[in-house]
């Protein structure tokens, strides 16, 4: 179905209003609801799920070190919008079809407020999952200012709940960042990029079978999903009218499986100032930015030399990445249009500072352990391909038990065919390096035989991260200090179809030895 591009204006999500504020505490109530929303001029209104009657949900703005409490309310119907596969973990026929729990992606929060996949609940808390389900979540915001996002995270149906619309931006600010004089106010916008497919009646299309179909399983999970259209902030191929000045965009890849390699049709550069965990040490000037699902990029675009020009934000990342098919440059190769058509309302006093922040580097010498963790492709009982972390399924015993305050290096050894965005809950980490290795030799011996030089992370990966691209045939090493909380968390691939089909594992932060 052909859909016209750049006929609808970009919508900027509203800022969520709290129920009350008292001293250093802010309290919100957020409803998950089903409703119809117009996503494109030529499509009938689409039945979606969202927060507070909006897809994507309203942006939550927080101040560093100011505590937020959120009561997440499931007001969704009992039947799912999309095909539920009851053969995968957590989504069996004995489980409620519609279950939700919300994860603040990148949030440093206590385990009870992390959105553990089995801490789900149904409409009005009629049924609850087996792990510490609670009504009010605590977000301390004791972390660097950055762009986070909140999204559904229930075991076995995360891909469906996010695709239905359960996602929104969460921004942490502080006075030090404010003093940098970056573009702000109406010149600072979140851009949540997602891909979707539609039926002629405007309804969301999500396949109930892979190609070829799976005998004896209907609906069946699919290996990954790539939509036929691109949405930004819930609008299909929108345009944004801008002034000839600098703008700050907080970009979130909210797609199930699609990677984006972003560039501008004008050939001009991006000035990337931040990544998942906040500001970089200094801006990175680059003409393209690669974002895996769940990665974020905080960047500035200077439109001042382009008065009365239309500029496309484009994408040329193959799907699946990095060995898939080239994108159609006339469809998913285009994301949105900037129209430099508004007159300059005032002088642009914003800056792109030469120095942005200080990144304290973690030392390998202080690491108490280096773990070797494989990413492997297997087949399930129905012959479907599925991916595993270190050869283990969700229900296997916990094997990663870092101590509170300890520093560990994780080697992500990718034996599979595609790049996997690996996300760790609770912690931010630093990317150390990547190196190609001999896959067959590793399969035979379990030893790493390098086949190429050690490569440092890209310049725009040299800050704090919570999601890292682990490329096929490479060892990707990350380093993190585990804390500040003990308890049960998870790590997983953020291709949602993989996450739902066993590519997710619990891990537990234990108390230090010799401490009560």
* Residue 465: predicted pLDDT: 98
User: What does CATH list as the number for 20-176?
Assistant: 2.60.40.420
* Residue 2: predicted pLDDT: 87
Cα–Cα distance between 426 and 406 in angstroms, integer? 14
Cα–Cα distance between 75 and 32 in angstroms, integer? 5
* Residue 454: predicted pLDDT: 98
Cβ contact 392:373 at 8 Å: no
Sign of the torsion angle spanned by Cα atoms 346, 347, 352, 354? negative
Domains 20-176 and 185-340 share a fold: yes
* Residue 1: predicted pLDDT: 72
Distances (CA, A) of 165 to 137, 230, 233: 21, 14, 10
In the chain, domain spans: 20-176, 185-340, 364-509
* Residue 132: predicted pLDDT: 80
Task: Split the chain (516 residues) into runs of 10 and give each run's mean pLDDT.
Answer: 94 98 95 98 98 98 98 97 96 96 98 97 93 92 98 98 98 97 97 97 97 94 97 98 98 98 98 98 98 98 98 98 96 98 97 97 97 96 94 97 98 97 98 98 96 98 98 98 98 98 98 75
Cβ contact 513:404 at 8 Å: no
Cis peptide before 359 (omega within 30 of 0): no
Fold of 185-340: Immunoglobulin-like (2.60.40)
What length does the chain have? 516
* Residue 515: predicted pLDDT: 55
User: Is domain 364-509 given the CATH code 2.60.40.420 in the classification?
Assistant: yes
- Which H or E element spans position 263? strand 260-264
Taking phi over 0 as left and psi of -120 to 50 as alpha, with beta for the rest, 164 belongs to alpha
């Amino acid at each position: 179905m052909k859909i016209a591009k750049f006929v609808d204006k970009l919508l900027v999500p509203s800022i969520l209003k709290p129920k009350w504020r008292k001293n250093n505490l802010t309290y919100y109530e957020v409803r998950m609801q089903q409703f119809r929303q117009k996503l494109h001029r030529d499509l009938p209104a689409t039945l979606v799920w969202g927060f507070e009657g909006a897809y994507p949900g309203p942006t939550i703005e927080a101040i560093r070190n100011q505590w937020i409490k959120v009561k997440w309310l499931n007001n969704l119907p009992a039947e799912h919008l999309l095909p539920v596969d009851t053969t995968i973990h957590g989504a069996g026929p004995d489980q409620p079809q519609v279950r939700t729990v919300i994860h603040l992606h990148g949030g440093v929060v206590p385990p009870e407020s992390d959105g553990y996949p089995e801490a789900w609940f149904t409409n009005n808390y009629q049924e609850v999952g087996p792990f510490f389900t609670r009504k009010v979540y605590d977000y301390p915001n004791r972390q660097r200012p950055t762009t986070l996002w909140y999204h559904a995270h229930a075991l076995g149906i995360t891909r469906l709940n996010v695709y239905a619309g359960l996602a929104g931006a969460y921004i942490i600010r502080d006075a030090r960042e404010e003093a940098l004089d970056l573009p702000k106010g109406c010149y600072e916008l979140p851009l949540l990029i997602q891909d979707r497919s539609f039926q002629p009646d405007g309804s969301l299309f999500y396949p109930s079978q892979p190609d070829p179909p799976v005998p004896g399983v209907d609906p069946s999970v699919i290996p990954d999903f790539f939509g036929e259209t691109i949405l930004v902030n819930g609008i299909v191929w929108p345009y944004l009218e801008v002034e000839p000045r600098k703008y700050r965009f907080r970009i979130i890849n909210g797609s199930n499986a699609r990677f984006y390699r972003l560039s501008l049709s004008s050939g001009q550069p991006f000035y990337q100032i931040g990544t998942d965990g906040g500001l970089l040490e200094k801006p990175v000037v680059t003409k393209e930015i690669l974002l895996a699902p769940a990665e974020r990029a905080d960047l500035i675009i200077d439109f001042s030399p382009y008065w009365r020009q239309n500029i496309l934000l484009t994408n040329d990342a193959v799907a699946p990445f990095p060995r898939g098919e080239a994108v159609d440059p006339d469809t998913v190769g285009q994301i949105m249009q900037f129209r430099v058509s508004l007159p300059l309302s005032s002088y642009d006093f914003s800056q792109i500072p030469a120095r942005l922040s200080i990144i304290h580097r973690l030392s390998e010498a202080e690491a108490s352990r280096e773990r070797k963790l494989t990413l492997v492709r297997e087949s399930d009982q129905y012959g479907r391909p599925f991916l595993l972390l270190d050869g283990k399924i969700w229900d296997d015993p916990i094997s990663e038990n870092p101590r509170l305050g300890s520093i560990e290096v994780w080697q992500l050894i990718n034996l599979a065919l595609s790049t996997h965005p690996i996300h760790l809950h609770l912690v931010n980490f630093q990317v150390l390096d990547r190196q190609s290795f001999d896959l067959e030799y590793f399969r035979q011996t379990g030893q790493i035989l390098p086949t190429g030089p050690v490569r440092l992370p890209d310049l725009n990966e040299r800050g704090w991260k919570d999601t890292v691209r682990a490329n096929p045939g490479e060892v990707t090493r990350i380093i993190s200090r585990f804390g500040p909380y003990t308890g049960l968390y998870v790590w997983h691939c953020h291709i949602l179809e993989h996450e739902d089909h066993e590519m997710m594992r619990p891990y537990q932060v234990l108390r230090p030895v010799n401490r009560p």
